[in-house]
Each structure stands twice: as C-alpha cells, then as structure tokens.
Structure 1
Amino acid sequence: MKKLLVTGVSGFLGWNLCQLAKQQWQVYGTYFSKLVDIPDTNLTKVDLRDFQELKRLFEQIQPAAVIHTAAQSNPNFCQIHPEESYLINVTASLNIARLCTDYSIPCAFTSTDLVFNGLNPTYRETDPVSPINHYGEQKVIAEQGMLELNPKTVICRMPLMFGIAPPGASSFIQPFIKVLRERKELSLFTDEFRTPVSGQTAASGLLLALEKVEGIIHLGGKERVSRYEFGRLMADVLELPQEKLKSCLQKDVPMAAPRPSDVSLDSSKAFALGYQPLSLREELKKLRGKV
C-alpha cells in the first residue's frame, strides 16, 4: 500500500482519519504533545513548526500523499495567543506545502467554515472569504499561501464536527454530554448556525478530496442547524436528560473571539463527487453507547 502522512493524529479529526485511511493506505501519523495508540499506524513525534525536522520526516517516510489536520483550532485561544497559534496554523502549513511541492505529491489541508463572516450564507467555494477572528484569518492566510506554493493543494473547508474522540481530545459534543449527564444547566445558541458532520464522515470526505479534487472544496453536512437545535436532537437520540438544556444568544456569552452567526456551507460540489453525509439523526444513532 502507498504511504499516507497524516499530521495531528492525536486530535479529533486526525484520529478519525487514521481509522478510515488505514484500510487503503500505509498510514504514518505525527503528534506533538499527546501520544495516542492507533493500531496499524506508524506514529512519530514531530514539531511541524520546525522545517528541518519536517524535512527529515519526509526524507525518512517518502510519503505518496499528505493530509494536514494538525492545528490550533480553538478560536478563543487563537484570539488571545495570535503569534503562538500562527506558527502551527500558518507557518507549519506552508512548510508542508513546500515539501509536497518538492516531492510532487498531493496534499489535502483542513481549513474551516470560519473563513466566512456569517452574513451571506449558504457559502460556496467561490464566495469571497471574510473572517472575523484570528483563527479564520490564519486559515485564510494558510489556504492562499499553500495554493500559491502548490496549486494542486486540496483546501478542505470543514464544518463543525462531532463523534468519537481519542483520549485527551474531544469534539464539540463531549462537554455537552458530560454536562447533561451530570444534570447541570447547558445553554446553547439559537442564533449560530452550522452544517455539522461526524468525524467519520469528515474523514471519508478528506480521502475523497485527496483523490478527486484540486483547489477548494466544502465538506459540510446536508442540514443547517443551530447549536441549540443540534443539542435537542443529540439529547433525544442519545437519551440524555433534557430538563437543564436551555437556549441563549451569542451576545449572552462573552468570548475572546468574535463568532459569525451563520457559516453554513454549500457542499453540493462534494456531494456530486460522492461525498454522502448521513442525516444528523442517523449519525448520532451510530454514536449510541460509544460517547
């Protein structure tokens, strides 16, 4: 099997990607601070910000393709620590693009729906970017820089993602589930809309995009929901206590990073290529007893 290099395998998306990719590829994964156990995956500790260290890794592995999922993806952290987050979100991404160009291999990069300002949904790949926080800005710089270095880079704009996570990582639902099971109050926004998918579905989209796409592709789900609507559905499907699940508005919760109100993605381009997210209810049913 051909060798696939996946960065950030101790994170939610990278970990889910490895589970699926190892069926088709010989997978090599990088981590930085958290070692996770992934059967049938070759793991290496690497500081992706260090170009020489990354260059040695490419020389050692000789990958046939790369999927770059490693990131500092917490918008509030990026807002407070812009220089530190820039190094992983931009510098490391450009380093990877340079090496993929040198090796003439495809590279898929995981960007975000937060490259948009939320004022003109539903967003297509051709719509102008307009980020309103540092995280979105960093992803835009990385997108543009990687495409300049290597026009064959696949920019995969990811939506909100949920599902099973490795130890030390989580998707956005794990904290919600914990709070509801403890019968504590959980307030979710009624005025923030996304197009979520499961980590498993997102991983299938990344592998499809790596094979079939050059340039930008959106890998959102088929349903536009608010966080509150999603929380209600999740509690219903996973049979969680709902009496403490409350609604709120974005302005009710002070946060470091500004949040766009609606960054729903139009992913019809990916759907036409065979990307087929299940309904949110079906996706959540698959998680029963596992989260």
Structure 2
Amino acid sequence: MKKRIYIAGCGGMLGEAFYEQFKNDYEIKCTDKDVNEDWLTFLDFRDFQEYKRDVEAFKPDYLFHLGAYTDLEYCEEHKDDTYLTNTLAVENAVYLANSLDIPLLYISTAGIFDGKKDLYDDWDMPNPLGAYARAKYMGERYVCENAKRFVICRAGWMMGSGPKKDKKFIQKLMKQLKDGKKELFIVNDKDGTPTYTHDFAKTVKELVENEYWGLYNCVCGGQTSRLEVAEELVKLIGKQDEVKITSVSSEHFKDIYYAERPPSERLNTKKLELRGVNKMRDWRIALKEYVDNYYQNYL
C-alpha cells in the first residue's frame, strides 16, 4: 500500500517539482485555486471548512502545505490577503495535521532574515522586514510551536518549471533575452542562494522518509549574488558575447520593486549536511540542468 500525501497549493513552480518527485512512490492528491494541470483539483485552502473536508476525505498520511503569495509588492499592497493566505491558512494546516495525527510540511523562505549578516545557518534568529517576510515567519513560528510532527524547509531564490510557471529571476531574464534585449540591468547589492525546485523536493523526500522532523535551510550549494547568477545564465546559453550585463544598485528598480528586501539572503545547509540527507547541488550545476531541461528551443 502506497502512503498518501495531500498537497495543498500545488499549482506553482514548486508544486510541479513535488508532483514529479512524489507521484510514482506515493498516492498523491494535488490541489490549488488555479487548476492549471490535469493532475490538479480545485481547492482554495484559505477556506478552512473546504480544506478540512477535502483533506479528511482523502485520509492522507502526510499533509504538504506549499502555497503562498510570493510577490513582495503584492504583499505590501494587500496585507490582509497576505496574512490570510500566508499565515492563517498555515494555522489551519497545523490544526488539520494535528487532528489527523500526521506530519506537516511547510515551506518557509530565506527572506525572513534582515540581511545584516552575510550568511545564515539554521539556528540564526529571523528578523523579517516586510509584509511577505513577516507573514511567512509567523507561519513558520506557528508550525514550530504547535505542530506535533513537521518539516519546515526554507527556500532561497527559487527556480523551476520553466516559462510556464517560473515567475522569478531566471524566467524574468530569459524573457528579456527572448524579447531580443541586448543589455540586462542587474542589481549588484543583493546576495542569496538559488534553490532548484527538484533538488528541494528530493531533499524533502529524504527528510520525510527518514522522519527527520524539524526546521531546515534548504538551498543549493555555493553563495552567490544576482549579478553572478545573471552572468552564469548568459554564459550557459552562449550569449556572453552578444549580451551586455550592466551592474546597477537596487535604486535603479525602486519604482517596480519597492518592497524592502534584505541585502543578503544567503543560507547554508548545516543541518541537512549533519543529517546526511542533502540533495541540494551546487547552484551552477542545478542552473545548467534547469536551463537544459526547461528552456530547449525557448530563445
């Protein structure tokens, strides 16, 4: 008998990787308010009664709560919606997991730190800056303080699922290149760690199957910056001679990206390494695989 996993908020870039990594070994039910795949069914997990009814009917062995608003500007403009989605819905998930006596997975973020340190380990104290970070951190804290058994994984700069669902940095750059841009303006004052969705899902699988409950930083290896990632991407697609990368400060984009962001979101994966379950590869290797697998014939 395969174990059963209920995955809520599975319609995004991370959900695609979880579906691919778990579908063969588990019986999974994937839900989202945006039904954009034939393997998804509709659920808005902010509706507690519907969430409860759907999860209880499936009788899962695990509850994975993936979904959240991740657009920082949207979160600043719509704080109530952000807390409803990124915090209160998580409290509901904790209640459901506890009432069914099953483990809960919650996805947190490197963005909960204030960036005053260059590098954060699993035990550093968060200090969230904006509405998005605060809502996610409150979700993280609620899980830590109230869930009976849980895995929390903090992701960094997410990349995955290609042009279809990636709304983050890599896809934004690829779209500019597809549109024929010959110059990319990249910020030089933001450091962090890319996180490939498939490596992330594989690492979660190891944690869950070994019952290594707890809180983990879960990012690719190698500390880097927005600038370095952009340079590597342009090199990977063989356009380093055609495309100019111009280094700018965050001030350059302040009209578009006005929500406060920490100067450093760099995490290390000390706990994963100590547990011996780290499937997170170096970011350059992961980025190459990502581009090879999802951007063939895109440009």
TM-score clears 0.5: yes
For residues 88 and 160 of structure 2, what CA distance do their matches in structure 1 show? 29
For residues 217 and 110 of structure 1, what CA distance do their matches in structure 2 show? 10
Q: Please, what TM-score do these two structures have when normalized by structure 2?
A: 0.90
Structure 1 position 279, deviation (Å) = 2.4
Q: 1:66–1:108: 8 Å Cα contact kept in structure 2?
A: yes
1:246 pairs with 2:246: yes
Q: 2:193–2:221: 8 Å Cα contact kept in structure 1?
A: yes
Pick from 197, 204, 207 the counterpart of residue 205 of structure 2. Answer: 207
Q: 1:161–1:198: 8 Å Cα contact kept in structure 2?
A: yes
1:11 pairs with 2:8: no
1:258 pairs with 2:256: no
For residues 169 and 60 of structure 1, what CA distance do their matches in structure 2 show? 31
For residues 133 and 244 of structure 1, what CA distance do their matches in structure 2 show? 32
| More deviation, 240-249/128-137 | 240-249
**Runs of at least 5 residues in structure 1 that lack an aligned partner in the other structure:** none
Query: Letter of the aligned partner of 2:137 in structure 1?
Result: V
Return closer, same or farther for 1:112/1:262 CA change in 2, 3 Å cut-off.
same
Count of matched residue pairs: 287
Q: 1:34–1:168: 8 Å Cα contact kept in structure 2?
A: no
For residues 227 and 284 of structure 2, what CA distance do their matches in structure 1 show? 15
Structure-to-structure mapping, 1:128-277, within 5 angstroms: 128-165=125-162, 167-184=164-181, 185-211=183-209, 212-240=211-239, 242-254=242-254, 255-272=257-274, 273-277=276-280
Partner of residue 3, structure 2: 2
Partner of residue 288, structure 1: 292
Deviations 1:139-191 (A, max 9, x none): 11111112222142221111112133473553431121110232323211111
For residues 72 and 199 of structure 1, what CA distance do their matches in structure 2 show? 17
For residues 244 and 8 of structure 1, what CA distance do their matches in structure 2 show? 38
For residues 24 and 145 of structure 2, what CA distance do their matches in structure 1 show? 32
Partner of residue 52, structure 1: 49
* Secondary structure in structure 2 of the residue aligned to 1:167: helix
Deviations 1:44-90 (A, max 9, x none): 21111111101111221001001211000111111111111111101
Q: 2:69–2:85: 8 Å Cα contact kept in structure 1?
A: yes
1:24 pairs with 2:25: yes
Return closer, same or farther for 1:238/1:284 CA change in 2, 3 Å cut-off.
farther
Structure 1 position 237, deviation (Å) = 1.0
Q: 1:154–1:209: 8 Å Cα contact kept in structure 2?
A: yes
For residues 225 and 190 of structure 1, what CA distance do their matches in structure 2 show? 11
Q: CA RMSD in A?
A: 1.7
For residues 259 and 207 of structure 1, what CA distance do their matches in structure 2 show? 30
For residues 148 and 162 of structure 2, what CA distance do their matches in structure 1 show? 32
Q: 1:16–1:165: 8 Å Cα contact kept in structure 2?
A: no
* Secondary structure in structure 2 of the residue aligned to 1:109: strand
Partner of residue 87, structure 1: 84
* Secondary structure in structure 1 of the residue aligned to 2:93: helix
Percent identity for Structure 1 against Structure 2: 27
Partner of residue 34, structure 2: 33
| More deviation, 242-251/253-262 | 242-251
For residues 204 and 226 of structure 1, what CA distance do their matches in structure 2 show? 24
Q: 2:218–2:280: 8 Å Cα contact kept in structure 1?
A: no
Return closer, same or farther for 1:135/1:74 CA change in 2, 3 Å cut-off.
same
